[in-house]
Amino acid sequence: MGKKIWQKFGELTNEEAAKRLAEDEFKEQLPFEDIDGGVLDAATPRRDFLKYLGFSTAAAAVAASCKIPSRRIVPFANKPPDVFPGVAKYYATTYVQDGDALPVVAKVRDGRPIKIEGNDLCSFTKGGTSPRAQASVLDLYDMYRLPHPKRKVADKFEEIPTFDQVDKMVGDALAGLNGAPLVLLTSTITSPTTKQIITEFLSKYPGSKHVQYDAVSYSGMLQANEASFGNRAIPSYHFENAKVIVSLGADFLGTWLSPVEFARGYSAGRKIDEKNPQMSKHYQFESFLSMTGACADERFTHRPSEAAAVALALYAAVGGNASAPQIADANLMQAITKVGNDLKSANGAALVVSRSNDVNVQIIVNAINSQIGAYGKTIDWSTTLNYRQGIDKDMVDLVAAMQNGQVGAVLIYGANPAYDYFDAERFKAALKRVRLSVSFTEKLDETAELCQYLLPNHHYLESWGDAEPRSGYTSFIQPTIYPLFKTRYFQTSLLKWSLPTGQADGNATPDYETYFKNYWTEKLGNANAFDAALQNGVIESPITTASGGTFNAGSAAAAASGIATGKKGGKDELVLYQKVSLGTGRQAGNPWLQELPDPIS
């Protein structure tokens, strides 16, 4: 008789109970009682009903307290000419979250979005999508979305019946700040129209400002580029032009910056052409096994505390003006020397990227790319990436100002620092000292729970909007379904809380939809051009000659000195990284993402 294998402790300690659970795992009938009076009159509690229904349009309708009338089924005799039951329509839109922006196409059947695919008209994604974009259609029907605006009374949230009442309450609270500064705290904003609305809104409140906060920060890269090139931005990377690719811990195929775009470029260089049988060479230095590392030709491991030393040693290996630091692992030093020689021999067709958020490390990476001639060939400063714009110091200064009572109001959109900020407890304590706090959130997250007002925002599949993920490349958002809940655009709230007429120039704009359409109709010249842009989903600038920028070599010397005097690691070290499926955790409740197998496990 073969060995008996237990799948969990319950099978070992309580075999009978485990058998009963296994038998009841997939019930054939849902336990609804007294259903004769109709679904909405059933004795089964509403919470249980939604629990069994899970993610579905019916669940969303019931959660929204929608009335479902009883009707006879009759033939569709007077059918609209463009509607065919069961035949799908496709709408170009854009998946946006945490600064990410992916041009996509939504498949809509019988008025309901059911599938997300990439937009083939986008030149940099070439129709690619991410797991989170694919799964985002389920978030639309999530029963845990906030169904209506709320305010906190004592320790509980109560519904606010209308948005007019919300505007009156918040407007009175803003007027009562008596000149105290207001702060708009958001994740990275890539929308041109939203940025303009934010500027107009903040102009009403002197001393107020907009702080962008990213749960996964690229502040070190932004500040390093400012020191090296005088530009606080991130250039575009052309992996397809690189014959030698070196990654210092950057999982650019999974989670780093813009993996959908980078995967397309990387794969182009990994396909062998029969006429010119060449393939790019990929080296990976890292402290954990990433999806990108698993695809590398040669992979070298090191302790997390050695990441800065590896970068500095590689800079010295390519001929940089720096001394190679002491690295105990002889095999690792030998690998660095080999990689350095390959980078030099590539004659500019090479690229080095790093996941580090250390400004000094990123400056050294910039120096390596300058030394090997990558700028203007595999790195282009004529087009910048806008996915991450947050600066760590801005957030630290904001928390300090809140603690000191120097902030009158905080409006939070797309950010959840009470969950993912490194000093979350300090942020929570500081938020309690702010007189007015408003959260524009789709769900009751950890930060929204602490705010006084909750104003749920539309899901992107219910919205109009735009995004500029790369400079000169605009992607449009258009609704695929009427809003399922009593939600409102975050931008509409800012417009209504701005000047009485709605805009700084005195032209009344009642809502964001009108503002958005007017903005782009004027910018594109006419309504027909705007309609064509919506149909395609993207507008792209003509391709320009790549720019290498002007590198400031003096910044590398100070960075090398800073690395040499940095802290050393201890006996045990920890690596924090994102899962390809869940990212920062904004979609952690999505069942598709929960069940998605990890590519590296």
Phi and psi, residue 19, nearest 5° = -65, -40
Which residues sit opposite 103 in a β-bridge? 94
- The whole-angstrom separation of Cα 33 and Cα 494 is 46
Question: What is the arithmetic mean of pLDDT over 367-394?
Answer: 96
Neighbouring residues of 215: CB distance < 8 A, sequence distance ≥ 6: 98, 187, 415, 416, 420, 421, 584, 585
Whole-angstrom distance, CA of residue 216 vs CA of residue 578: 9
**pLDDT, tens only, 554-565:** 899 999 999 977
Query: What is the structure's pLDDT at 43?
Result: 52
Residue with tokens 């899962």: 579
**Does residue 459 surpass a pLDDT of 60?**
yes
Q: Which residues of 233-266 are buried (b: 16+ CB within 10 A; e: fewer)?
A: ebbbbbbebbbbbbbbbbbbbbbbbbbbbbbbbb
- CA-CA distance, 423 to 326, in Å (whole number)? 33
Q: What's the sign of the alpha-carbon dihedral 48, 53, 58, 63?
A: positive
Cα dihedral across residues 377, 382, 387, 392: positive or negative: positive
Residue 39 is predicted with a pLDDT of: 47
Q: Is the pLDDT of residue 36 over 70?
A: no
- 3 state DSSP class of 400: helix
Which of the two residues, 505 and 259, has the higher pLDDT score?
259
**Average pLDDT taken over every residue of the chain:** 88
- Provide the Cα torsion 227, 231, 232, 234; round to 10°: -110
CA distance 209 to 182: 7
Structure tokens at 248: 């210092």
> What is the pLDDT confidence band of residue 570, given thresholds at 50, 70 and 90?
confident
Q: Which domains does the chain have, with CATH numbers?
A: 32-72 (no CATH), 150-216+390-536 (3.40.50.740), 226-387+548-567 (3.40.228)
Average pLDDT over residues 210-220: 97
pLDDT band at 34 (very low <50, low <70, confident <90, very high): very low
| Long-range pairs for 41-44: beta carbons < 8 A, 24 or more residues apart | none
Higher pLDDT, 46 or 524: 524
- Among 594, 567, 564, smallest CA distance to 582 is for 594
Q: State pTM to two decimals.
A: 0.85
Which pLDDT band, with edges at 50, 70 and 90, does 506 fall under?
Answer: very low
User: What's the rounded mean pLDDT across residues 334-348?
Assistant: 96
